[in-house]
A and B are shown apart, each in its own frame.
Chain A
Amino acid sequence: MKKFLCLIMISLLLLSLAACSDSGSTAPDTTEPAAEAVSDNGDTGSSADSDGVDVDLTAMSSTMVYSEVLNMQQKPEDYLGKTVKMAGPFNVTEIGENRYFACIIADATACCSTGIEFVLKGDYSYPDDYPEANTEITVVGTFNTYMEGTSKYLQLKDSVMEF
């Protein structure tokens, strides 16, 4: 009986290790069509799907989405110029004369959330062309960073928004 249990234990360990070794690079199929102007956004890295989206946050689980966004904040240089697609509640913040639009992304523990700012491609005026706060939106844009004061901020420039 003990030997049989040992065999089961070894099999479990081997199964676990086998899970680690499978590291393909196929991107999952996205079920939703990308926004119309995505193909105009230039950069299509090797991991881009058929819609030209390099990092599709809408096709990931909530844990992966939050992790990917935190990695964007920690290593923004890895994402520069990539086309990113994201979905979440719309948020607008006004600081002085500046107005920032963002898509909010919550983590799996529901205690943390973060947002990515986006700038729409073309001329749009607030509030006419934007949804109400907390409306679910989908945004596709090119990942970019900019400095304001001494801080570095992330944004999706040349974005297209759907709601």
Chain B
Amino acid sequence: MTDIFSTLAFYMSKPFVTNALIVGVLIALCSSLLGVTLVLKRYSFIGDGLSHVAFGAMAIAAVIRLTNDMPLVLTVTVVCAVLLLRMGKNAKIKGDAAVAMISVGALAVGYLLMNIFNTGSSNLSGDVCSTLFGSTSILTLSTFDVWMCVILSVLVVLFFVLFYNKIFSVTFDESFARATGQRAGLYNLLIAIVIAVIIVVSMQLVGSLLISALVIFPALSAMRVFKSFKSVTICAAVVSVFCALLGLLTSILAGTPVGSTIVAADIVVFMIFALIGAVTKRSA
């Protein structure tokens, strides 16, 4: 046990591990906050779709050899998020079909572009795998990445705190919110932008294939035990941060893939909460 702590202390002395923990906690916190809203609005799978869009945008950035791909990736993902969340109800292709179409379409086009146009990488499959599963990208962040993540996370948390009541009303009953004079369309637009930002930032932690887990598992775990919007949101944030830290520390100690380990921690916590939920329901 002492060996584990001394090894952990040694790893923590490395700046890239500290950066990974800071960014991991912030990403987990942000994704869980909006995760509750997405699950309640029946948009659990939108994270997956948008992350594939981000992958496609990253491929385009690689093809045109952009040094910093963040602005392009963020813009494309935000546009797609707005299209999916705001125009979904009026479009001919709706809801899950639109998400599925954009998801697989962007993934296929992204991989195709990277293959057709040689991006200069000698390890294409490695690069793709790294983007899809996260690999160790959270442990190789640049100072710019860390600051970008901190700023975006602060903005997301501020948005959630400032617009908490609006998000609450738009989440549960959009028609009622409109009827009472609230600008539901505007808040839906803001939620779509924030979700896109979270997805792009989260790709560094777990990769684009595993982002959905980061968004939905903490919310679903919290919903097993708590019932009010506020308590579910707080619980989801705590669970998400705990699982992200547990997964990160386990992966650097045991040498397991970072993204998969975090998701595995989320699954275990979900099962524990499901059990607690079943027991408390029976005893109530």
Contacts and interface: CB of A to CB of B under 8 A. Distances in A.
Interface residues of A, number: 37
Contact of A109 (B17, B127, B242, B257): B257
A61 B238 contact: no
Interface stretch (B4-12, B33-41, B78-86): B4-12
Q: Is the interface of A mostly helix, strand, loop or mixed?
A: helix
Interface stretch (B45-53, B57-65, B99-107, B248-256): B248-256
B118 interface: no
Contacts of B3: 28
A120 to B, nearest CB: 25
B125 interface: yes
Interface string A1-44: 11001000110110110011011111110000000000000000
Q: Is the interface of B mostly helix, strand, loop or mixed?
A: helix
A134 interface: no
Given A23-B18, A63-B251, A13 B241 contact: yes
A111 B125 contact: yes
Interface stretch (A66-74, A83-91, A95-103, A140-148): A66-74
B246 interface: yes
A58 interface: no
Contacts, number: 125
B180 interface: no
A70 B136 contact: yes
Contacts of A135: none
B280 interface: yes
Contacts of A62: 255
Contact of A16 (B127, B140, B225, B245): B245
B72 interface: no
A19 B5 CA distance: 10
Given A20-B12, A109-B257, 12 more contacts: A2-B226, A5-B276, A13-B238, A16-B25, A26-B6, A63-B252, A66-B136, A67-B16, A70-B136, A111-B125, A112-B126, A112-B127
Contact of B8 (A5, A12, A22, A113): A22
B11 A64 contact: yes
Nearest to A16: B245
Interface of B: 3, 5-14, 16-18, 21-22, 25, 123, 125-127, 129-130, 133, 135-136, 139-140, 142, 225-226, 231, 234-235, 238-239, 241-242, 245-246, 249, 251-258, 260, 276, 280, 283
Q: Which 10 A-B pairs have the closest CB atoms?
A: A111-B129, A61-B255, A24-B9, A67-B139, A62-B255, A112-B126, A16-B245, A23-B12, A25-B13, A70-B140
Nearest to B234: A9
A22 to B, nearest CB: 6
Nearest to B125: A111
Contacts of B8: 19, 22
Nearest to A47: B13
Contacts of A60: 11
Interface string A50-82: 000000000011111111101100100000000
Contacts of B245: 16, 19-20
A111 B25 contact: no
Nearest to B142: A74
11 contacts: A12-B242, A25-B13, A26-B10, A28-B3, A61-B252, A61-B255, A67-B252, A108-B255, A108-B257, A109-B130, A112-B130
